[in-house]
Structures are given as structure tokens and as C-alpha cells.
Structure 1
Amino acid sequence: MRKVIFLDRDGTINVEKSYLHKWEDFEFEKNVIDGLKELKKMGYEFIVVTNQSGIARGYYSEDDLKALNNEMVKELKKHDIDILECYYCPHHPEKGLDQYKKNCDCRKPNPGMLLEGIKKYNVDIENSFMIGDKKTDLEAGKKAGLKSILILTGYGKNIEDDVKKEYLIGKDLLDISKIIK
């Protein structure tokens, strides 16, 4: 069985920018590369799970998202960091284009993307984690049976007080690698 870190993307891996969909606007959060390298040394592999309602809203296409994710994966690969897969939810329950406007199992806080990754990659849920900057990330991890950790990048610093009794908290991915160790 594999030990996996499930990672939210926006606000966790990259700096939060409203409806990010162009590689030229992408910027890694502080200590992402070093944190992922440390986690990799501990035997963890990585899966990205990201809500992308910008697709439902018509701000960008699934192809735009896939192109950006592919560039991110290539950049991480230059640092010897592999991403097993990038899962995304293009839906929104109330807003957007008809084919994407729906309640679904994949939009966090629902655990659909995580459960799919757990099954496909034979993930050891007892020794795996979900890391994200929103309560929906933490709840999705919990529903999937994972330990969830709030990261204080992105929106994380805004909800720290709301979740500190229930979840572990780290200031960035390097700090979280020390917590997990």
C-alpha cells in the first residue's frame, strides 16, 4: 500500500489567485518544493485534488486547466517530485454552464476525488494525509478517512481559529513535513 499526501492546489501548492488558469500567472507558495522533497524522503507520494468552479462558470476550459496542471507537474518533476495524478472537480451546485451546474460527489467537501485516488493507487489511509487551506479540504480528507492538516497559506490563516481544536495546522509545506515526521 502507498503512503500518499493529497494536496489541494490553489492556496496550498500555488499562491491563491482568483480563478487561476494561465501558467504565466502561476507562482509556487513559499517552501512548497522543499516541503515536498522532505515528504518524498519520508516515502510519501502525491495526488492533487482541486475544486475548479471556474470551469463551471465559463471562465476557462477543462483544456486550460489540464495545460496548467501539466506545466505544474513538469516544473515539480525538474525538482524530482512526481505527482501521481491531478484530480479536479469542474462543477458548481448553483452557478455556471448547464453541463457543470450540479451537485456531485467530487466537489470538496465531498470526498469523491480522494476516494477515487485511494482506490486507484491502493492508498494506505491510516498513514496518508489531506493538506489544504480551506475547511472544505479538511472535511473531504476526514470523510475519506485521512488525517487532514490545515496549511496557513492561501485562505488558511483566515480559518485557523475555527479549526484548531479539530485539525493539525502548519504554516507551510516545509513546516507540515516536520509535523508529519
Structure 2
Amino acid sequence: MPVVIETPRLTLREYQPGDHVALHTILSDATTMQFWPAPFSPAQTEAWIARQIASYAAHGLGHWAVFSRASGALIGDAGLMHSEVNGRDEIDLGYIFHHPHWRQGYALEAARAALDFARTQPGITRVVANMAHDHHRSRRVAEKLGLRYEGDYINTRNRNFRTLLYALDLSVSDSSG
């Protein structure tokens, strides 16, 4: 059954092929994607959605389309992926929100929902988040979620930027969620 998560202001659901146009508006925006190697092309947006759909089938998780419950508009992307992060296979928590929706707590709300989902999944004992060293808003979201700074590394997948690594051990009791 497809994952659908509702929070007070958001609905997170699995991507569908028809989400391409709305998601591309977000992923092709230079301001929104300023901490990525470059804004996405239409083909990269299609590949992003295809990768998430494949991840749902293979792992039961992936990034989800994030909709405003008030407007019904697609405003972002958040979720969990099996990824190689600094040379290790990790469950990587990610969140991208279209810049008109920044500073409204949506990333924190969606990321918290993704962490709550991770806690219900057998075998997930650790979640990480990584962000460019100068992406202060993303770092604050990770910290508010209770993830702890583990160090930094040079991210060869993102222009060799110095990247911060945060992690949360889900195998121990945690009071931040």
C-alpha cells in the first residue's frame, strides 16, 4: 500500500509519474537548488521520480511529494533513501522545499514525519542527514530533530563541497522527536 503521511499542515505521499511538472518547478529553481550542483533539467526531475518509485518497491521507503494541506500545492520533497554517504551505506534523511515556502517550519514538520516513519521500520537503527557546510537552515532542521554532528567530509557528488554529517541512533530511546 502506498505510503501517505499527514501532519497538521502537510500531506506526504509517494511520487507518481504525473508529479513531474509540479516537482520540476521546484527542482529547476536556482534559488531553491542553490546548495545542489545545479538546478535539475526535465530529464533529471523524471529520473528523480523514477528513482523514488524504484526505492519504494525495493526498500519500502524513498522521498515523498510534500503537499500543503491548505492549498493542495506540491511545495517540497522529503523522505528517506538508502544512499552512500561519506563512503557508508546509510539511511539518508533529505528535504527540499521550494523557496517561497522557506522559514515556515515545513522542512522540520516533513522531516519529523519521515523520522517518525523510520522509527516504525524494522531494521532502521540509524538515520543521517548531510548538507553543504554553509546551508545553515538545513543544519538547524537536523539539530532540531535531535540529529548530532558527526563530522564533515568532502562531498565528491556535490562539487567537492565541504559537507556536514549529522546522525541519529534510533536504537536508543530519544526524546527529541
Q: What's the TM-score, normalizing by structure 1?
A: 0.36
More helix by share: 1
Higher relative contact order (CA 8 A, sep 6+): 1
